[in-house]
């Protein structure tokens, strides 16, 4: 059984395929799903105010197109001054607009420049992603969540980028483990998985399948 992950971001698809490797389903992305059906996917507007609203809008939009199991995720990023513990000013909080709001959408390199500039101004900046998911199996079976077990662990932004870059995940190159101050890319894979809370997504899918007696 295939489940379509409503994103065109290859790095996010690879992450979710790894996270859900023990779930008896094949995770495919939008491009593969569209190519297999010979269709062009229209843009689904992310007009929500929260990660959960955006995840829901995308899942509903893609389900109407494909009429088969589909899920979408969204995230909001929230920032604190690590030294003082105070949240950064509201005007600097990315929330759901990690790449910029309105018509502005920053490239990977522009994102790195923006967040390293914050570090230069405030010192080490602590961040946390609040993640949401909406899964629609059919017209009757659907579930969504923004529970804390889906959120990432707190981490730090540094002003000195790591030499490694992964397209689609630019901020990982300036992210540090909050305990060791090691770059994400210098951690063991298992430690990286703990930071991004794979277990929460696995639990969500297992609970969904048990609830609706799927597979």
Higher-confidence residue: 168 or 49?
A: 49
User: In sequence order, which ranges of the chain are alpha helices (DSSP H)?
Assistant: 10-19, 30-37, 51-66, 108-122, 189-195, 198-211
Token digits for 86?
């105070």
What tens digit of pLDDT does each residue of 137-155 get?
999 999 999 999 999 999 9
The CB-side HSE value for 40 (13 A sphere, CA atoms) comes to 2
What tens digit of pLDDT does each residue of 72-127 get?
999 999 999 999 999 999 999 999 998 886 667 899 999 999 999 999 999 999 99
What tens digit of pLDDT does each residue of 148-177 get?
999 999 999 999 999 999 888 899 999 999
Structural domains of the chain, with CATH: 2-211 (3.90.950.10)
Looking at every residue in the chain, the average pLDDT score rounds to 92
- Pairing mode of beta strands 70-81, 142-145: unpaired
DSSP 160: S
Token digits for 33?
């799903």
Tell me the C-alpha distance between 204 and 113, whole Å: 35
């Amino acid at each position: 059984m295939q489940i379509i992950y409503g994103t065109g971001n290859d790095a996010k698809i690879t992450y979710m395929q790894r996270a859900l490797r023990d779930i008896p389903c094949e995770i495919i992305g939008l491009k593969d799903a569209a190519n297999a059906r010979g269709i062009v996917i229209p843009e689904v507007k992310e007009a929500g105010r929260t990660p959960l609203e955006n995840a829901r809008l995308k899942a509903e939009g893609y389900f109407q197109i494909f009429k088969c199991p589909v899920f979408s995720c969204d995230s909001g990023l929230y920032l604190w001054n690590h030294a003082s513990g105070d949240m950064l000013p509201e005007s600097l909080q990315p929330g759901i607009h990690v790449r910029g709001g309105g018509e502005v959408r920053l490239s990977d390199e522009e994102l790195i420049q923006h967040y390293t500039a914050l570090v230069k101004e405030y010192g080490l900046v602590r961040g946390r992603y609040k993640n949401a998911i909406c899964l629609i199996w059919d017209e009757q079976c659907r579930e969504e969540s923004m529970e804390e077990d889906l959120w990432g662990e707190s981490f730090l932004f540094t002003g000195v980028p790591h030499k490694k870059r992964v397209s689609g995940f630019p901020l990982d190159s300036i992210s540090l483990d909050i305990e060791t101050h090691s770059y994400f890319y210098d951690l063991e894979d298992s430690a990286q998985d703990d930071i991004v809370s794979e277990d929460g997504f696995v639990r969500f899918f297992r609970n969904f399948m048990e609830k609706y007696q799927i597979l």
